[in-house]
Chain A
Amino acid sequence: MSQETVASLTPVELERRLKRDGIFLRLPPFVFKIQSPIPIVAQGIAELYADYELLADDTEFADFHVSVVYGRRLPRRLCVFELDGQRPFTPLAVGEAFAFLEWGMNWCVTGYCHTLLTLHAAVLERHGRVLIMPAPPGSGKSTLCAALMLDGWRLLSDEMALLDPVTGLVTPAPRPVSLKNGSIEIIRRRAPTASWGPTAHDTQKGTVAHLRASSSSVARATEPGLPGWVVFPQYLADVPAQLLPRPKAASLMQLAQNSFNQHVLGKAGFDALADVIARSDCYDFSYAQLDEALPLFAALPLPS
């Protein structure tokens, strides 16, 4: 069965559909209905979701019905994210509309999905095992994630690890990699031909732009992976890159602190996290230069 992708629509047609009734997009493992009259949103989707499956207009079920619309006041300088008419956030500048959509979609998943254990982490896969990098903002996780993806790692997510507590596997949810400020230039230089979405200036986080997920990552979005490594990254200026084994009890505590909903899943959630730690090699990682970091990751031995 051939699947229609976003690329099959011309930019004009895409913008028209988004403005009118919206489009149904399969963003594994979810289906989103997305609507927006704002051109920068259409631009971002055209550029960054070209490979993703576009579902029929009469699709019966969507997990989340989201939109980014103009604020109520004129002139139209503001935009606001909506989940089915509900507005959980205060408005942002129209220039941030695409980024707002991305943040909003993440919020839907972490706020409402409890059949999977969700973690604030970048997730990649190589050699059949999954690398989980839990980290709060400012740790350099996203830059590292983008670089690893460009270096051949399969991207499962730059932002959320979705762990199935029953199977112990991580469910992929590859989406554009969100990068900020200096990281944008660093990654542009490393991959001059890579595709980017619109740049949003003067956001709460500074300058934000999204890097397109690699086609191979998107193509394998239905293949879950077995955890193999848990690495806690920390960007530290002027420090040589190093991977230091991290004791497991401490790793479990740190992993749990980066979970959104372990407490909701109770004991099943605790066991799922403990099993991840049990079957993975755990490290602390500090780095300043990506060129030093990548070989260390490439050389990671498979867990025993």
Chain B
Amino acid sequence: MTLAPINLLRQVWRDPTAIAAMSLTDWDLLIRQGRAADLLGQIAQACDAGCGFMNIPSQPRQHLQSAALLAQRQRRELVWEVEKIREALGAKGLPLVLLKGAAYAMSNSAAACGRLVSDVDILVRRDDLAAAESALLQRGWVSAAQNEYEQRYYRRWMHEIPPMKHFQRGTVIDVHHAILPLSGRLHPSTDRLLVAARPLADDPTVKVLSPLDLVLHSAAHLFHEGELGKGLRGLLDIDRLLMELGGPAQGWADLVARAHELELQRPLFYALRYAAILLGTPVPTAASEAMAAVPGARPSGVLLSLMDQLFLRALRPPHASTSDEFTPIARFLLYVRGHWLRMPPWLLTQHLTRKLLTPTKPPKPAQTPTATGAA
């Protein structure tokens, strides 16, 4: 299988000294691929760190700087939002444990550099779910579920309640009580994740998952996900987090052991494999071998071949330059797989039928400028 290379993207993180030598043609393609993959902010940060914005030709530079500004702005808003959430939960004596983008940003992880983050994801014990929801309702968040079916579906089968949107700020919070759906086959223990969660260096009242668990959550999320338009971004998160775990062999050994403990060995296997192939993440041979030796980690030869065909296509940017004639079907099959992993067959049929029969509203074109509030 020879698929369109994504060497321009890889190079940004693996060989930043080569950035200064890029031609305008390369820049044109990189920016288009980056925009399609929603990675322009991260590319901008990496390029600035690698050779400095002023050494980049003015035409592409403008796009990178714009993306960097947007990422900075979102991060600023996120800090405020986390504070408001902390106040809301704190009023009921509930701890705040952040997941994903919010966790990366607040813990100053390398995964947060230039990354756009809008929604905040938090993890609570199932027993604390009602109290957390009530605490948020009291401070202005309302459920964003479209209808009764969605409410019931989330609460019965999913690992999170329907997203909640703040009535004034318009920001969204996803309250998780597990990292994978209840209706799925894997049930990594929320309690173990919460016990291992660590406080932020500069604010002990806010916690994030442990470094190992951040990797595993990211892998679980990415390799259980049906829609992979942002798949490369998820893979880059994993790459950044793995690089942060550092060189010591013990870090990798701990990661493999923890994956086994949380039943996440299969997602971690895929994560290490595809990060290495697509992004050139330097996974030590010992770690790959240890991973392959964990029961249930490595899929059978036939299945692995199939997954390679699907993931190596779907994890590339959704752009014409990195797709081939099989990419649409690869994305479709992974979409079905995502649902398959999330729910038993009877529920899957019911859910998909409902989705097919319910018309979705077409997106509205943005026509008016965003208005800033006035007294």
Contact = CB atoms under 8 A, between A and B. Distances in A.
B369 A85 contact: no
Interface string A100-133: 0001000100111111000110000000000000
Given A61-B60, A84-B319, A263 B370 contact: yes
A133 B27 CA distance: 36
Contacts of A62: 28
Name the residue among B65, B76, B318, B367 with the largest chain A CB count within 10 angstroms: B367
Interface stretch (B182-190, B206-214, B216-224, B358-366): B358-366
B76 A266 contact: yes
Nearest to A60: B24
Interface stretch (A15-23, A70-78, A251-259): A251-259
B74 to A, nearest CB: 9
A212 interface: no
Given A259-B369, A262-B372, A61 B27 contact: yes
Contacts of B70: 114, 264
B200 interface: no
B371 interface: yes
B63 A112 contact: yes
A223 interface: no
Contacts of A88: 363, 365-366
A65 interface: yes
B44 to A, nearest CB: 11
Name the residue among B24, B76, B362, B372 with the largest chain A CB count within 10 angstroms: B372
Contacts of A89: 363, 365
Nearest to A263: B372
B240 interface: no
Contacts of B63: 63, 112
B66 A61 contact: no
A115 B68 CA distance: 10
Given A60-B28, A61-B28, A89-B365, A115 B69 contact: yes
Name the residue among A61, A115, A265 with the largest chain B CB count within 10 angstroms: A61
A24 to B, nearest CB: 11
Given A114-B66, A262-B372, A31 B320 contact: no
Task: Assign chain A's interface to a size class.
Answer: 35 or more
Interface string B19-37: 0000111011000100110
Nearest to A90: B362
Contact of B59 (A61, A65, A113, A262): A61
A85 B319 contact: yes
Contacts of B28: 60-62
B305 interface: no
B62 interface: yes
A295 interface: no
Interface string A237-277: 00000000000000001001111111111100000000000
B84 interface: no
A136 interface: yes
A61 B372 contact: no
B69 A136 contact: no
B73 interface: yes
A137 B367 CA distance: 10
A111 B372 contact: no
B369 A114 contact: no
Contact of B320 (A63, A85, A137, A259): A85
Given A260-B369, A263-B370, A114 B24 contact: no
Given A84-B35, A90-B365, A60 B25 contact: yes
B340 to A, nearest CB: 28
B374 A63 contact: no
A65 B32 contact: yes
A258 B372 CA distance: 9
Name the residue among B59, B318, B362 with the largest chain A CB count within 10 angstroms: B59
Contact of B366 (A111, A136, A258): A111
Contact of B369 (A60, A61, A120, A253): A120
Contacts of A63: 59, 62-63
Name the residue among A114, A136, A257, A261 with the largest chain B CB count within 10 angstroms: A114
B368 interface: yes
Nearest to B72: A266
A50 B67 CA distance: 33
Nearest to A86: B36
A265 B69 contact: yes
Contacts of B319: 84-85
B369 A90 contact: no
A62 B60 CA distance: 9
Interface string A201-214: 00000000000000
B371 A84 contact: no
A10 B35 CA distance: 35
Interface string B312-337: 00000011100000000000000000
B372 A259 contact: yes
A125 B111 CA distance: 46
B129 to A, nearest CB: 33
A124 B62 CA distance: 24
Contacts of B65: 114-115
B73 A264 contact: yes
Contact of A31 (B57, B59, B76, B370): B59
Contacts of A61: 24-25, 27-28, 57, 59-60
Given A61-B27, A114-B65, A260-B370, 17 more contacts: A31-B59, A60-B24, A61-B57, A61-B60, A63-B59, A85-B319, A88-B363, A88-B366, A90-B362, A90-B363, A90-B364, A90-B365, A114-B66, A119-B369, A257-B371, A257-B372, A265-B69
- Nearest first, the 8 A-B pairs at minimum CB distance are A60-B24, A114-B66, A89-B365, A61-B24, A90-B362, A260-B369, A60-B25, A61-B28
Interface of B: 23-25, 27-28, 32, 35-36, 57, 59-60, 62-63, 65-67, 69-70, 72-73, 76, 318-320, 362-372, 374
15 contacts: A31-B59, A60-B27, A63-B63, A84-B36, A88-B365, A89-B365, A90-B362, A90-B365, A107-B365, A107-B366, A120-B368, A136-B368, A137-B367, A256-B372, A263-B372
